[in-house]
Amino acid sequence: MATIESVLHETRLFAPNDSFVSQANLLNEEACQALCREAEKDYLGFWGKLAQEHIQWHKPFTRVLDESNYPCFKWFDDGELNVSFNCLDRNLEANSDKIAIIFEADDGKVTRATYRDLHLQVCQFANGLRSLNIKKGDRLIIYMPMSIEAVVAMQACARIGAIHSVVFGGFSAKSLHERIVDTAAVAVITADEQRRGGKGIALKPVVDKAIEMGGGDSIKSVVIYKRTGQNIQWHNSRDVWWHDLVIDKSDYCEPEWVNAEHPLFILYTSGSTGKPKGIQHSSAGYLLGTMVSMKWIFDYKPTDIFWCTADVGWITGHSYVAYGPLAMGATQIVFEGVPTYPDAGRFWKIIQDHKITTFYTAPTAIRSLIKLGSELPREYDLSSLRLLGSVGEPINPEAWMWYYNVVGQSRCPIVDTWWQTETGCHMIAPVPGVRPLKPGSCTFPLPGIMAAIVDEAGHEVENGKGGLLVIKRPFPSLARTIWGNPERFRKTYFPDDLGGKYYLSGDSANCDLDGYFWIMGRIDDVLNISGHRLGTMEIESALVANHLVAEAAVVGKPHEIKGEVIVAFVVLKDACPQGEDAKKIAAELRNWVSKEIGPIAKPEEIRFGDNLPKTRSGKIMRRLLRAIARGEQITQDVSTLENPAILEQLKQSMA
Ligand code: PRX
């Protein structure tokens, strides 16, 4: 196959500062390299040792990895543990009075829960679930607002060995219904309403609608957390208030000791096409991944105040809200609201008020905060920050620079963490304080993660050339299957073309001459311009590097001679331009890209909009843009879009 060409060359380099280096968990390049060598030399010994060090086992394991039924591999599979015990009980001795969660509600009200409080709440709720006859292996849907209770619900499932599937609170009854049916769930845990941006958004009515769509008969109970007290319809046969369920329950719940491979949760990921996949994770391997990444990548310290802004409806909210921080005994923020309410300074105010040390968010949030008020962060005291993180999409170098200079005040390393719902935890990310950072690069694989870039026949490509990003060996935190569809799991992630052994991420990437990894976009989005295969990321980054541009997405449109031409959708920092203005700016941007990257990447067409179509987790939906660019009907499901109205505007727009 032709490799994918890399056209953007970033030369800025940011060495870690001395004060960070002197306190880093993985102190230096040597320590980091030693771990990588250890993993190379004795892969199983490496992971086995980490699993012994990090997890408190009820029954120790004797086998590290069973690969006999590839890709249905098993890690530590004769060991027994309980994930909730590992997150809560073991923190009781030393940390019982330590704050586990600082909850900040949409209206600013703050509630704190210590590890003792959280343990008590989880035990009582877990006992409540048992009283509803919910048992090990049963599936439960959690459809909750960001809250201490959402974390309690997840932990309580883990405590009794039930398998949760969290559905993001902004998803429709249809999405919820699909997940109820696919998991044959026995219960839904929800709230009457959630509060976001000063408004109440109903949850319980959506649950009722989903159950009543047919096929939802497996649901025997709906547990409702009273968040706002809004009137709801009551179904005697299945509804129970959370507060009634826990009222007479014992404050201790014996954990269900489960096998290391027991499914901890199922989380649906939509991918770009097809039916959502129920990604199923294990207990021990997953927990281990979240813990080592907290330590190595977030450089976790007991004095940290950690804030991951992701909703628990996404994998990031599972690994770095509900499990990883608790397993490490951390203090973390759980935030109910949105970055723009009551004003665009909300994130910065939270950082200031709670003295956040570690702030982890998504490029989409960073780009919109740049657009909303580049000067705003300077009005707040952000001096408590010591580490910044990014996840979910490639962070364009210019957004990286803003994050670094304005938010981190040129003091905080940025960990650009590449990973996926399927991988469970960070895969490629800088160990902060070790190597210099390059804006826009997620740098190097974690010790023990054998990432590589290959062509379509599975051969590794030379540095500097782009290709398919794969991971060559299974690792503990990798998903075990697609719920109910192991064959789809094998075909999607371990395709025969690559020999059936490599985990195929679905992303394109390149490794530069210094060995730094750069994510180039999804393989499905690769453009083919006059025989040159180009990833989306680099062209978009070139556009975002222009001082007028806030966000950009590029797609291909068929062209008789060139194969494809590039159509760019652009959001400016200022208002969406019209008429002659739009034409002038479009011409300027076309020339800009041509100068920055080369004439090959010059967009044929530029369209302006107030925003881009995004998923609820903030990813740009390029397949919809592709349909618009080609003048095709949009036949795909757009119900999971954050902002469906934007499609009409983009259809009309043309510079
Ligand atoms: O394309 C990559 C992008 O997000 C995809 C995974 O999405 P999801 O399963 O929703 O998980 C998101 C949270 C881990 C990847 O295949 N992606 C994620 N992080 C990065 C990224 N692309 C570039 N750089 C990243 N840091």
Q: Output the residue whose Cα is nearest ligand 1's atom 12.
A: 392
**In b/e form, how buried is each residue of 118-130, taking b as 16+ CB within 10 angstroms?**
bbbbbbbbbbbbb
How far away, in angstroms, is 566 Cα from ligand 1 center?
23
- Contact criterion met (CB below 8 Å) for 438 and 10: yes
Mean pLDDT on 456-481 = 96
pLDDT digits (tens, 9 = 90+) for 531-552: 889 999 999 999 999 999 999 9
Whose alpha carbon is nearest atom 15 of ligand 1? Answer: 420
Distance separating alpha carbons of residues 567 and 564, to the nearest angstrom? 9
Mutate which of 268, 315, 418, 617 for ligand 1? The one with the most ligand atoms within 8 Å of its CB, which is 418
Local structure of 542: helix, strand or coil: helix
What does the pLDDT read at residue 6? Answer: 85
Distance 60 CA to ligand 1 centre (A): 34
Question: Across residues 597-610, what is the average pLDDT?
Answer: 93
Q: How many CB atoms lie within 10 A of CB 495?
A: 16
Q: How far is the CA of 333 from the centre of ligand 1 (A)?
A: 22
Query: How many whole angstroms from 519 Cα to the centroid of ligand 1?
Result: 9
- Strand stretches in 430-572, DSSP E: 451-454, 466-471, 481-482, 503-511, 517-522, 527-529, 532-534, 549-559, 563-572
How far, in Å, is the centroid of ligand 1 from the Cα of 558?
27
Strand-pair category, 358-361 with 517-522 = unpaired
Q: Does the beta carbon of 272 lie inside 6 Å of ligand 1?
A: no
Element (H, E) at 594: helix 579-596
Ligand 1 atom with least separation from CA of 522: 1
- Atom 2 in ligand 1: residue holding the nearest Cα: 393
Closest CA to 537 of 524, 554, 550, 557: 554
Q: Ligand 1 centre from 50 Cα, in Å? A: 25
535 ligand 1 Cβ < 6 A: no
Tell the residue nearest (CA) to atom 23 of ligand 1.
Answer: 394
Residue 182 Cβ < 6 Å to ligand 1: no
Q: If we measure between CA atoms, which residue out of 639, 604, 610 comes closest to residue 624?
A: 639
Name the 3-class secondary structure at 287. helix
Per-residue confidence (pLDDT) for residue 521, from 0 to 100? 93
Q: Would you say the CB of residue 420 lies under 6 angstroms from ligand 1?
A: yes
| Ligand 1 and 3: CB distance under 6 A | no
Question: Which residue's CA is minimally distant from atom 26 of ligand 1?
Answer: 418
Q: Annotate 618-638 with b (16+ C-beta within 10 A) or e (fewer).
A: bbbbbbbbbbbbeeeeeeeee
Q: Which helix (H) or strand (E) holds 53?
A: helix 43-54
What's the pLDDT band for 1 if we cut at 50, 70, 90?
low
Tell me the pTM: 0.95
> Are 166 and 201 in contact, with CB atoms under 8 Å apart?
no
**Is the shortest distance between the CB of 418 and ligand 1 below 6 Å?**
yes
Going from the C-alpha of 407 to that of each of 163, 368, 402, the distances in angstroms are 38, 14, 7
Name the pLDDT band for 642 (thresholds 50, 70, 90): confident
CB 144 within 8 A of CB 189: yes
Probe residue for ligand 1, chosen from 393, 442, 470, 518 as the CB with the greatest number of ligand atoms within 8 Å = 393
Quick check: CB of 316 below 6 Å from ligand 1?
yes
Ligand 1 contacts CB of residue 616 (under 6 A): no
Helix, strand and coil percent figures for the chain, each rounded to 5: 35, 25, 45
Residues forming a β-bridge with 308: 360
Calculate the CA 337 to chain-centre distance. 18
* pLDDT score recorded for residue 407: 97
DSSP β-ladder status, 451-454 and 466-471: antiparallel
Nearest atom, ligand 1, residue 419 CA: 14
529 CA → ligand 1 middle, Å:
25
Contacts of 68 (CB under 8 A, 6+ apart): none
User: Which of 156, 142, 279, 275 is closest to 219 using CA atoms?
Assistant: 142
Q: Would you mind telling me the total number of residues written for the chain in this entry?
A: 655
Distance 59 CA to ligand 1 centre (A): 35
Which tokens in the block code for residue 295? 């330590």
CA of 349 to the centre of ligand 1 (A): 27
| Whether residue 394 has its Cβ less than 6 Å from ligand 1 | yes
Confidence tier at 271 by pLDDT (50, 70, 90): low
Residues ≥6 apart with Cβ < 8 Å to 237: none
Tokens 């919910």 sit on residue: 134
Give 374 Cα–ligand 1 centroid separation in angstroms: 25
Interhelix angle 148-160/115-131, nearest 10 degrees: 60
393 close to ligand 1 (CB < 6 Angstrom): yes
| pLDDT score of 274 | 67
Helix 29-41 vs helix 43-54: angle between axes, to the nearest 10 degrees?
120
pLDDT interval class at 118 (50, 70, 90): very high
Angle CA(611)–CA(315)–CA(570) in degrees, nearest 5?
Answer: 15
151 pLDDT band, cuts 50/70/90, is very high
More confident residue, 216 or 346: 346
Atom of ligand 1 nearest to the CA of 617: 10
Residue pLDDT, tens place only, 169-194: 989 999 999 999 999 999 999 999 99
d(CA 78, CA 60): 8
Distances (CA, A) of 477 to 21, 133, 445: 28, 30, 14
Q: What is the pLDDT of residues 216-266, one digit of tens each?
A: 899 999 999 999 999 999 999 999 999 999 999 999 999 999 999 999 999
Q: What is the pLDDT of residue 572?
A: 95
Of 128-132, 407-411, 449-453, 645-649, give the lowest mean pLDDT range: 645-649
CA 412–ligand 1 middle distance (angstroms): 22
